Amino acid sequence: MKPFGVFEDEEELNHRLVVLGKLNNLVKEWISELGESKNLPPSVVADVGGKIFTFGSYRLGVHTKGADIDALCVAPRHVERSDFFQSLIEKLKHQEEIKNLRAVEDAYVPVVKFEFDGIEIDLVFARLSMQTISDNLDLRDDSSLRSLDIRCIRSLNGCRVTDEILHLVPNQENFRLTLRAIKLWAKRRGIYSNMLGFLGGVSWAMLVARTCQLYPNALASTLVNKFFLVFSKW
């Protein structure tokens, strides 16, 4: 699959990690500043937290060269959705490394799109009913959905589905390699697109995950064969 640009090299992978680290620090800084502006006690502001989670193909470990990163900004209860689309955007505008910044507030899942040091990022937002957001927050815990509005639940859904898929497959490395092969096959045949009525990224991932469950000890080469065998007779 290497001739088709499926894999990134080590330098490109590390660059993505650096960009995500910078974005995570920016978000934490913004949440703290917002807490101060809303007169939260200094002791609360010091531990208020906030975190960037990834989902989609990057989180699954199957993204291709030059692919964007789907990311989720999780904030505590003092941060409103309007803050995300106003004060955070203002903060991002002042970062030299960020370009092509635009907000799509009326989307099914409202999103802020931008390019951070050459990496395209789609950032969605969820506000949890917690005073602080710790770095070890587990979004698979259903209690995190308590008292949330529908837009926040939709934003969280991407991360929760991605993490659940990774949790349910018997061997993540075999799953990833198999999914890369199936995605490449689907794209080259023009059937990788939910907008055109075919299957999208998550749907293909779920089908491959099911194949991995049916053949837990199989290698990726066998799993690709079994994928077509299973779903040709589904």
The residues spanned by each domain of the chain are 2-162, 169-232
> Out of 28, 51, 70, 155, which one is annotated catalytic?
70
Distance from C-alpha of 40 to C-alpha of 32, rounded to nearest angstrom: 9
Residue 168 or residue 6, greater confidence: 168
* Helices then strands, each counted (H, E), the chain: 9, 5
Q: Tell me the backbone φ, ψ of residue 157, rounded to 5 degrees.
A: -55, -40
What is the band of 168 on the pLDDT scale with cuts at 50, 70, 90? very high
pLDDT exceeds cutoff 80 at 47: yes
pLDDT exceeds cutoff 90 at 91: yes
Residue 9 or residue 72, greater confidence: 72
Residue 53 or residue 47, greater confidence: 53
Q: Is 68 a catalytic residue?
A: yes
C-beta separation of 135 from 51 below 8 A:
yes
What is the band of 119 on the pLDDT scale with cuts at 50, 70, 90? very high
Q: Residue 66: left if φ>0, alpha if ψ -120 to 50, beta else—which one?
A: left
H/E element holding 127? strand 119-127
Give me the architecture of the 2-162 domain, per CATH.
2-Layer Sandwich (3.30)
Q: pLDDT at position 145, please?
A: 83
> Out of 32, 57, 144, 155, which one is annotated catalytic?
57
Q: pLDDT at position 143, please?
A: 84
Distance from C-alpha of 1 to C-alpha of 6, rounded to nearest angstrom: 6
C-beta separation of 38 from 25 below 8 A:
no
> Out of 32, 155, 192, 215, which one is annotated catalytic?
192
Region 36-40 average pLDDT: 91
Q: pLDDT at position 234, please?
A: 86
Q: Give the β-pairing of 98-104 and 111-116.
A: antiparallel
Q: pLDDT at position 23, please?
A: 98
Q: Is 117 a catalytic residue?
A: no
Residue count of the chain = 234
Distance from C-alpha of 121 to C-alpha of 123, rounded to nearest angstrom: 6
What is the band of 8 on the pLDDT scale with cuts at 50, 70, 90? confident
Candidates 95, 94, 73, 93; CA nearest to 84 is 73
pLDDT exceeds cutoff 80 at 5: no
Q: Is 70 a catalytic residue?
A: yes
Q: pLDDT at position 78, please?
A: 95
Residue with tokens 């990496």: 119
Region 137-145 average pLDDT: 87
Candidates 110, 133, 100, 108; CA nearest to 27 is 133
> Out of 122, 144, 155, 215, which one is annotated catalytic?
122
pLDDT exceeds cutoff 90 at 144: no
Residue with tokens 């993505």: 16
